Chains A and B, each alone.
Chain A
């Protein structure tokens, strides 16, 4: 019953909130209540106790439980953020529907169904990308439509590749037909490209940069955190379900690691180059995704621990980045159309959130990304300095990119220094235009940013409980033991 509630309750609430979508406050409260109820239900589901429904096995592993709780928490944060941050008319129903789909993905073991659900999440996300606020007086941007179209095409192609791979795994018997090209390599190639598209690894990343550039920050945050991380968990499930794919394609691991290194390096290099704030954040995320994929492709227990912990940290850091970005881009009472350079002074909480989120992504101690990056570096060091060096260089580049964007947009001197001029002859105080009132940071969103910031710091200072859970989960993974 709890499984079904976890899957279908958000769907029904999504339908209800869609009907009431113009009453923003009510809808956000209803959605927040739904997420809290979901969290309660998730804690009631026993771990590793499979159940059957319509011929499908539903089960919750300890690792997936951690991510389930994390995703629901992120969903709750998104609802709180939606109170003040710009979002489309249908954001809340779409977010609830996406949460339901992601919860289902985490409960399932069947690769066919998870692939189709991931495709469905992509189709749902498309609606959010082109969504305009209720009663908007402007037209939807052509760039947003182009970004949504690109996302739709690439996610469908990814689903097709993954599905073909899973059909092949269904009939593939190891050691059969030795005269033919090994099906294991072919399947692994299909899966790698499919998941590279979903995880936005360079050169399959263009949807992510467009998404960050043209979608609302909350939409980008939901897609990158929930959907990309869920895809990574599905990839781990695939390796767990079909360990022979890795065992029979020894050389392919090297290609996967090389791809990850290229992705990390190019992501870091792009971040250094001149780019607007949003684009630089996209490059930092690409760098982070590459690091996580390298950990997974290293196929070692240390690397995998780094990848899983890195994915968890990235989820938090990206949410913090986009909530802060949404706050920084709010109209602040000053003349619009000017690129501001004093955002940290003007919005101290949001500015700090952006800096901390970026630093967490590149793994600076004592933030949460530090430990996961260390584990990934350790996995790379086991392969030799030739793999470790590019990763370290990329981190340096990503750090320089963050420093560049911080100096350009955050750390500049205060810009509202208009000196008080004396009254002219015959002029009185009432003749002067009213002093411009600068908007303060919205309390609920500032509090949300602080909570996320403290979470990043807290996990960075005390990662042991999460690492212990991840280590325990990794010990149960057959493909790691086999390799």
Chain B
């Protein structure tokens, strides 16, 4: 059986998103995931190439995927880098300012009392193992795409996306899970609908899919900014505690 390295890259980067908590690591993994998907699309040639760059024949779709990935990662990355800035404090009354100070102290306490623990990674790890088993089995039980590699990639991305949402402890991680899920349907749509027996690809859904990815990143960034501005933390436990 031939090994498809791009599928492995998609799997490994998605696994990093599921397992790790540090946004610097997970955002880099997300960008690499989009890159791996673009290269996978270029390799599989679901869409005939219409561009020649440095002697390589590529489809525009590959670039659309790359640009989407870069845009999404930039939006989330810039948001994460600017969390420490304060916005709109000039309109707040004394009560609001006092509440912010209280939230900052609570967040500081929470960070101090939550050191690194391996036990935090147990549930995501075993969830990932289950997703791996399911993603290896489902392409045999219920093949949908034109090849086993395609089926593995989209099943894996969907399951890892859903499990990332289920095991997330902060808002950005939920956003990453949602983005993995939308990437999965993007891949499935391109692979399946471009098949000869299908209706054929249309440019509008492809554009809209990329737009939804970017809008989703914007919505997650906006909510993260709001939450951090309000509670000085992105932890979901703090959000649901009050």
Contacts and interface: CB of A to CB of B under 8 A. Distances in A.
Contact of A170 (B184, B193, B219): B193
A137 B96 contact: yes
A139 B92 contact: yes
Interface in B150-198: 158, 162, 165, 171, 174, 178, 181-182, 184-185, 188-189, 192-193, 195, 197-198
B208 A117 contact: yes
Residues of A contacting B: mostly = helix
Contact of B227 (A54, A55, A138, A145): A145
B226 A140 contact: yes
Contact of A168 (B96, B144, B181, B219): B144
Contacts of B171: 149
B145 to A, nearest CB: 9
Interface stretch (B64-72, B120-128, B209-217): B209-217
Contacts, number: 123
A148 B220 CA distance: 10
A153 B231 CA distance: 20
Interface in A194-214: none
Given A142-B242, A149-B223, A170-B193, A163 B185 contact: yes
A135 B99 CA distance: 18
17 contacts: A110-B204, A112-B189, A120-B212, A126-B219, A127-B219, A138-B93, A140-B230, A143-B242, A145-B227, A160-B181, A160-B184, A160-B185, A167-B185, A167-B192, A171-B195, A180-B142, A181-B142
Given A160-B181, A170-B193, 20 more contacts: A54-B203, A55-B203, A113-B208, A116-B208, A120-B215, A123-B219, A127-B219, A127-B222, A137-B92, A138-B92, A138-B93, A139-B100, A140-B226, A152-B223, A157-B165, A163-B185, A164-B158, A164-B188, A167-B188, A181-B142
Interface of B: 91-93, 95-96, 99-100, 142, 144, 158, 162, 165, 171, 174, 178, 181-182, 184-185, 188-189, 192-193, 195, 197-199, 202-205, 208-209, 211-212, 215-216, 218-220, 222-223, 226-227, 230-231, 239-240, 242
Closest 10 CB pairs of A and B: A116-B208, A112-B205, A137-B93, A163-B185, A160-B181, A156-B178, A123-B215, A142-B242, A123-B219, A139-B96
